[in-house]
Amino acid sequence: ISICIGESADLNATGGGSYIWDEDPTLSALLIPDPVATPLGDTEYKVTGVDDNGCENRDSLFVFTFDLPDVSVGGDETVCIGDSVNLMATGATTYLWDSEPTLSALDIPDPWAMPTVLTEYKVTGTDDNGCMNRDSLFVSTLAVPDIDAGEDDAVCIGGTVSLFATGGLADMYVWNDDPTLSELDVFHPDATPTETTEYIVTGTDINGCSNIDTVMVEVYDLPIINAGLDDDICIGDSTHL
Q: 57-79: per-residue pLDDT in tens?
A: 999 999 999 999 999 999 999 99
User: Helix %, strand %, coil % for the chain, to 5?
Assistant: 0, 40, 60
> How far is CA 212 from its chain centroid?
21
Which contiguous run of DSSP H or E holds residue 216? Answer: strand 210-220
The pLDDT tens digits of the residues spanning 144-178 come to 999 999 999 999 999 999 999 999 999 999 999 99
Average pLDDT over residues 38-63: 96
The pLDDT tens digits of the residues spanning 124-149 come to 999 999 999 999 999 999 999 999 99
Q: What percent of the chain has a predicted confidence (pLDDT) above 70?
A: 100
Gap between the Cα atoms of 205 and 66, Å rounded: 50
Which contiguous run of DSSP H or E holds residue 57? Answer: strand 56-66
Gap between the Cα atoms of 211 and 204, Å rounded: 7
Average pLDDT over residues 77-82: 96
The count of residues in the chain is: 241
* DSSP tag of 90: B
Strands (DSSP E) found in 116-168: 119-126, 132-142, 153-156, 161-162
Q: What is the pLDDT of residue 8?
A: 96
- Return all residues near 44 (Cβ < 8 A) that are at least 6 apart: 60, 61, 62
* Contact status, residue 168 vs residue 116, Cβ threshold 8 Å: no
Phi, psi of 214 (to 5 degrees): -130, 155
* DSSP tag of 103: B
Please report which confidence band the pLDDT of residue 226 belongs to, taking 50, 70 and 90 as the band edges.
confident
pLDDT at 241 over 80: no
21-25, 58-62, 113-117, 231-235: lowest mean pLDDT where? Answer: 231-235
Nearest Cα to Cα of residue 3 among 37, 52, 44:
37
* Contact status, residue 147 vs residue 168, Cβ threshold 8 Å: yes
